[in-house]
Amino acid sequence: MSSTTTFASAFKKDVLEGLTSYPKYLLSKYFYDKNGDQLFQDIMNLPEYYLTNCEYNIIDLYKKEMALEFNHDHGFDLIELGAGDGKKTKLLIEELIHQKIDFNYLPIDISQNVLDQLEASLKESYPAMSVKPQQGTYFEILEQIAEYNTRKKVILVLGSNIGNLLHPQAIDFLRKLKEVMSDEDMLFMGFDQKKNPQTILDAYNDPTGVTEAFNKNILTRINNELNGDFNSDQFLHWEVYDPETGTAKSFLVSKIDQEVTIEDLQLTTSFKQWETIHTEISQKYDDDVVDWLADEAGLKITRQYADPDLYYKNYIFQK
């Protein structure tokens, strides 16, 4: 079976499961089709979405130290999971080139389109650099790399992407990463921190409605790919943040009593007025929680970098 077929059938199964559950939910990994990728790019440029700038500033402030920390006698492989447009990573890459450090860059992404664009832009800026894009799911590729590769690996997971996982899933993710790491390998991961709850709510509730469009894109996707008839105007984008648990949650809330039919699932589902579809969690952290996650996964935190406001932190984990 091709990966496209597998993906399409997983999408069908997950949508069916989510919309026939009570309460209803949809998985946030399905936000990211071509339109969703673009909307997420737009989110990253919003003034309210502080995460991107904070991580950019951390890398910019500490890139010299990071380059020294990552370097190794026999060079190293810089592996990035979910590379995106590579804007933040380019700061680090430039520093590595500047310090004449021997490294390969291996961006991993499920989207070939994203990888092609990234490779083209890196080749243009740094023609001599070794870029080896790897298309596929993270662990498939990481396992392959771990098998043939003998150099030190530095694995980058930026953007607080781990925050879209519940804690047990995050621990599982970290454990799987640990399995492909050798003793000298490093995992460099971004974690958005707990802060003034209003700042967090504003980041997921921008006045221009980009986040709303991003959240509703999952309905458009169901319409386009599974022959659904969602009217996204009949749903509200709603964000809540619980400062006790550090969990931000996104919902779509039905404004009216309505029925939605999804032909390819042979499903007609009804929504009561104000019924919800839970679409995403964006977890916020503090050092205690990150320590606990590391501990559960059998990893050690060997360093951390923060922005001056302590809005965001990047941690280095080792086995």
Residue number with CB closer to ligand AVI (133 or 163):
163
Which one of the spans 153-161, 172-180, 181-189, 222-230 is the region binding ligand AVI (CB under 6 A)?
A: 153-161
Residue number with CB closer to ligand AVI (190 or 228):
190
Q: Are 115 and 82 in contact (CB under 8 A)?
A: no
Supply the DSSP symbol for 205. S
User: Is position 280 an interface residue for ligand AVI (rule: CB under 6 A)?
Assistant: yes
Nearest residue (beta carbon) to ligand AVI? 282
Q: How far is the CB of 138 from ligand AVI (least distance, A)?
A: 14
For ligand AVI, which residue of 164, 258, 269, 304 counts as binding (CB under 6 A)?
164
Q: How far apart are CA 259 and CA 221, in angstroms?
A: 17
Which one of the spans 54-62, 160-168, 194-202, 305-313 is the region binding ligand AVI (CB under 6 A)?
A: 160-168
User: Is position 204 an interface residue for ligand AVI (rule: CB under 6 A)?
Assistant: yes
CA 61 to chain centre: 22
* Helix/strand/coil for 140: helix
User: Is position 160 an interface residue for ligand AVI (rule: CB under 6 A)?
Assistant: yes
For ligand AVI, which residue of 52, 89, 211, 314 counts as binding (CB under 6 A)?
211
User: Is position 275 an interface residue for ligand AVI (rule: CB under 6 A)?
Assistant: no
Q: How far apart are CA 315 and CA 312, in angstroms?
A: 10
User: Is position 36 an interface residue for ligand AVI (rule: CB under 6 A)?
Assistant: no
User: Is position 163 an interface residue for ligand AVI (rule: CB under 6 A)?
Assistant: yes
Q: How far is the CB of 35 from ligand AVI (least distance, A)?
A: 14
Q: How far is the CB of 166 from ligand AVI (least distance, A)?
A: 13
Phi, psi angle pair for 261, to nearest 5°? -110, 135
Q: Are 23 and 270 in contact (CB under 8 A)?
A: no
Other beta carbons less than 10 A from residue 154's beta carbon = 23
Closest to 316 in 3D by CA, of 188, 191, 181: 188
CA 239 to chain centre: 18
User: Is position 81 an interface residue for ligand AVI (rule: CB under 6 A)?
Assistant: no
Sequence-separated (6 or more) residues with CB below 8 Å from residue 49: 43, 203, 206, 211
Q: Kindly write out the interface string for residues 47-66 of this chain, putting x where it contacts ligand AVI by CB under 6 A and - elsewhere.
A: ----x---------------
Give the length of the chain: 319
User: Is position 111 an interface residue for ligand AVI (rule: CB under 6 A)?
Assistant: no
Q: How far is the CB of 283 from ligand AVI (least distance, A)?
A: 8
Which one of the spans 102-110, 156-164, 171-179, 228-236 is the region binding ligand AVI (CB under 6 A)?
A: 156-164
Closest to 24 in 3D by CA, of 207, 231, 275: 275
Closest to 122 in 3D by CA, of 99, 143, 157, 92: 92
Other beta carbons less than 10 A from residue 96's beta carbon = 22
For ligand AVI, which residue of 52, 254, 282, 314 counts as binding (CB under 6 A)?
282
Q: Which residues in this chain contact ligand AVI in the complex, by CB under 6 A?
A: 43, 51, 159-161, 163-164, 204, 211, 214, 280, 282
